[in-house]
Amino acid sequence: MHRFNYQRSNLYAEGIKVENIIKQFGTPLYIYSANTILDHFFKLKHAFKVLNPLICFSMKSNSSLAIIRLLVKSGSGIDVVSGGELYKAIKAGCPGVKIVYAGVGKREDEIETAIKAGILFFNVESVPELEKINKIAKRCKKIQSVCIRLNPDVDAKTHKYITTGKKETKFGLPYKVAKSIFKNKSKYKNVKIEGIHLHIGSQIVRLDPFLKAIKVALELKKEVDFEYLNIGGGLGIIYKNEKPLLPDQYAREIEKLLKGSKVKLILEPGRFIVGNAGILVTRVVYFKKGINKNFAITDGGMNLLLRPALYEAYHEINLVKKKNKPKVKMDIVGPVCESSDFLGQDRILPVPKEGEALAVFGAGAYGSAMASVYNGHPLCAEVLVNEKEVYLVKKKENYRDLIQNDLIPDFLR
Ligand code: LLP
């Protein structure tokens, strides 16, 4: 469910015509719906009310300060994976005790800052990392709580680039290693090892991989005791015709599995919360008839939404103002000099005129978060809609931003 709907032929973001929004803010433009985000957050929260987990929004999916703030104000914690994300989470007002920190490459400075910020847990991905956290915590005269990220060797049955729970991937620790860490807990005097963390992948639409992974963690719980179980994110959403898990169904099955285990649960949803809560609006610059193909060339492409180029991901695309004209097959492409720069391929749409706007749906997660300035296109503006109000939440970058950190050495002057 989301709040981007057509009324007659016009696309609305909540209670505002998208055409009016782009008149004010231009294109390309990311538009987010605040109430879609909240709706998803509370759907998950209600589905899990029996287990009452800490929900930590995975901000790698969308790191807009305004969106993080919206969720934090609603009681969400944050899942971060870098010093930069930690900085933003704190700036958005997230208390340290609601921050969990994953990632395979945590640097010393990042670890120290996080310890000083009083985060809830590091999700530890290797033995050297655990040793480093222990060493730094000692230096800071603190006892730092951590969870061990378990690699359960489970296939999430999703795109191979976003599968993270198989033994071939760089993530987490094998069962045996995790077990031996718990057995040797006392070696790490400045670390309190309190739980297991799992995250087996993203855009998962089946239940069994989740259950399999949790079963591996519960197997381990029979051998070593722990209090917290973080089951990560990964819940899939509808981009085309997927039949994703419903939060209630997901929650009921997990409840059944965890019955009697007394673990405290943590969730790290990203895509589920923001995926369908954002669209990218681009304008057609040219319509080009090719030999075998037609191309609608727009002012935003892989620079702003990388998912189609990187994973051949499908995003629904439609005219912001639908029209009753004959439809033809076309690729929707961006201005970037790469053949993989497409937003959609073989789409059947009315031939767009120059300047007509297209909406790319499902762009709220891993859209602006993965955008770049490749080919010298500054990042675009972002707005957040709340019913009939629209707020600028990210200014459009300008050309000066493109060079602000560049330096010309003296010998070239
Ligand atoms: N927790 C951890 C430790 C993660 O690595 C991730 C995502 C999440 C939670 C949130 O997962 P979600 O609920 O969003 O599935 N760029 C890719 C997705 C990469 C996901 C990385 N990890 C894409 O555009 O599909």
Per-domain residue ranges of the chain: 4-32+275-402, 34-273
Query: Does the predicted model carry a pTM greater than 0.95?
Result: yes
Cα–ligand 1 centroid distance for 13 (angstroms): 25
Among the listed residues 56, 147, 337, 380, the single catalytic one is: 337
Mutational pocket test of ligand 1: of 158, 169, 268, 315, the residue with most ligand atoms within 8 Å of the beta carbon: 268
Q: Region 165-192: what's the mean pLDDT?
A: 96
Cα–ligand 1 centroid distance for 199 (angstroms): 8
pLDDT of residue 19 exceeding 90: yes
Cα–ligand 1 centroid distance for 155 (angstroms): 15
Q: Whose CA is nearest to atom 9 of ligand 1?
A: 233
% pLDDT > 70, the chain: 100
% pLDDT > 90, the chain: 97
Give, in order, the Cα–Cα distances in Å from 198 to each of 128, 170, 217, 324, 335.
19, 13, 8, 49, 39
The pLDDT of residue 1: 83
Where does the pLDDT of residue 158 fall: very low under 50, low under 70, confident under 90, or very high at 90 and above? confident
Q: Region 322-344: what's the mean pLDDT?
A: 97
The pLDDT of residue 353: 97
Q: Region 16-26: what's the mean pLDDT?
A: 98
The pLDDT of residue 109: 98
The pLDDT of residue 55: 98
The pLDDT of residue 163: 86
Q: Region 208-236: what's the mean pLDDT?
A: 97
Mutational pocket test of ligand 1: of 148, 158, 170, 202, the residue with most ligand atoms within 8 Å of the beta carbon: 202
| Ligand 1 atom having least distance to the Cα of 275 | 14
Distance, in Å, from the CA atom of 72 to the CA atom of 37, rounded to the nearest integer, reads: 12
| Ligand 1 atom having least distance to the Cα of 103 | 3
| Ligand 1 atom having least distance to the Cα of 310 | 24
Residue 147 is among the residues annotated as catalytic for this protein: no
Mutational pocket test of ligand 1: of 61, 151, 267, the residue with most ligand atoms within 8 Å of the beta carbon: 61
- Ligand 1 pocket: which residues have CB below 6 Å? 58, 60-61, 79, 102, 162, 199, 202-203, 232-235, 268-272, 307, 311, 365-366
Q: Region 361-384: what's the mean pLDDT?
A: 98
Where does the pLDDT of residue 160 fall: very low under 50, low under 70, confident under 90, or very high at 90 and above? confident
Cα–ligand 1 centroid distance for 268 (angstroms): 9
- Cβ neighbours of residue 5 under 8 Å, at least 6 residues apart? 11, 12
Q: Whose CA is nearest to atom 23 of ligand 1?
A: 366
Q: Whose CA is nearest to atom 6 of ligand 1?
A: 233
Task: Judge contact between 271 and 203, C-beta under 8 A.
Answer: yes
CATH topology identical between 4-32+275-402 and 34-273: no
pLDDT digits (tens, 9 = 90+) for 30-63: 999 999 999 999 999 999 999 999 999 999 999 9
| Ligand 1 atom having least distance to the Cα of 269 | 13
Cα–ligand 1 centroid distance for 186 (angstroms): 33
Q: Whose CA is nearest to atom 19 of ligand 1?
A: 162
pLDDT digits (tens, 9 = 90+) for 68-107: 999 999 999 999 999 999 999 999 999 999 999 999 999 9
Distance, in Å, from the CA atom of 83 to the CA atom of 78, rounded to the nearest integer, reads: 13
| Ligand 1 atom having least distance to the Cα of 159 | 25
Q: Tell me, which fold does domain 4-32+275-402 have in CATH?
A: Lyase, Ornithine Decarboxylase; Chain A, domain 1 (2.40.37)
Cα–ligand 1 centroid distance for 124 (angstroms): 17
Cα–ligand 1 centroid distance for 204 (angstroms): 10
Distance, in Å, from the CA atom of 393 to the CA atom of 391, rounded to the nearest integer, reads: 6
| Ligand 1 atom having least distance to the Cα of 164 | 5
Average pLDDT, whole number, for the chain? 97
Return the CATH class of domain 34-273. alpha beta
Q: CA dihedral in degrees (144, 54, 238, 354; nearest 10)?
A: -70
